Structures are given as C-alpha cells and as structure tokens.
Amino acid sequence: MNGEGGRPSTGSVDPRAHPNAIKPQNGQHSDENVQAATPVSDLLYTDVWVSMGREKESADRIRQLSGYQINAAVIALAQPGALVMHCLPAYRGKEIDEATFEANAQTIFDESENRLHVQKAILNWLVS
C-alpha cells in the first residue's frame, strides 16, 4: 500500500525479495528531490498519476505530484543520452509533457512492446 503522499510505505521493499535492487553499488538512486536526483540519472521513468478506478483522487494526486513531471527542464538536468520511459497510458501535460513524450516515443513504445511479448509468453506458459 502507498504511504503518505503516494510514497512507498515503510518496509515496502523487502530485501529478501529484491536483494540486488537495493544495494547502492548497483547504481540505483531514488530521491524525492528531482533537481538532486536527475543529474546522476541515465533513465527517467514515470507512470500515470491517477490509476483507473481512482479518478476521485485525481485532484489530490495531481497536486501532490505536479513537481515530478518529466519535461524539457528535467531532461536538461539528466545525463546526456538519458532514456525516458513511461509505462503507459500517458496523460500528456500531467506526468510527462507533450514535447518530451513525442521526443521519446520510440523508447516508450519499444518498452511497451517488450512488456507485451513477456505477457504473451506468460499466457502461453499458463495455458500450455
């Protein structure tokens, strides 16, 4: 369950479940301060701010997350050649601005296609 303000709740990452993902030497960095985190980023990833069925929370979620939009100013802070990904569906102008989405559409849709193939493989395995 999400903690306050959409943050992960305390203890939501179990080191036994993700032993390599939480080791700092793997280069993974998480920070609530966009200006502090972005300059060391090779990948910027976002997701829809308001999930289906939670539309009543829309105004609160947009207010809480508006400082985290991926846009040209954020891209300018990132490492040269940083990838931008979105797990879709995207609401342009909210979690990602129109120009940034369009400039990174190939990467965004390639990622989506890769997920499709994984999902198809899982379904094939389940029904075989």
Please check whether residue 48 is in contact with residue 89, taking contact to mean a CB–CB distance below 8 angstroms: yes
| pLDDT for 70 | 96
| pLDDT for 37 | 86
What CATH class does 23-127 carry?
Answer: alpha beta
| pLDDT for 1 | 38
Alpha carbon distance 90, 96 (integer Å): 7
Extents of the domains making up the chain = 23-127
Q: pLDDT tens-digit profile of 97-121?
A: 999 999 999 999 999 999 999 999 9
Output the pTM of the full model: 0.74
**Three-class SS state of 35:** helix
5 phi-psi bin (left φ>0, alpha ψ -120 to 50, beta other): left
| pLDDT for 76 | 95
Kindly compute the dihedral angle of the four CA atoms of residues 21, 123, 83, 95, in this order, to the nearest 10 degrees.
Answer: -90
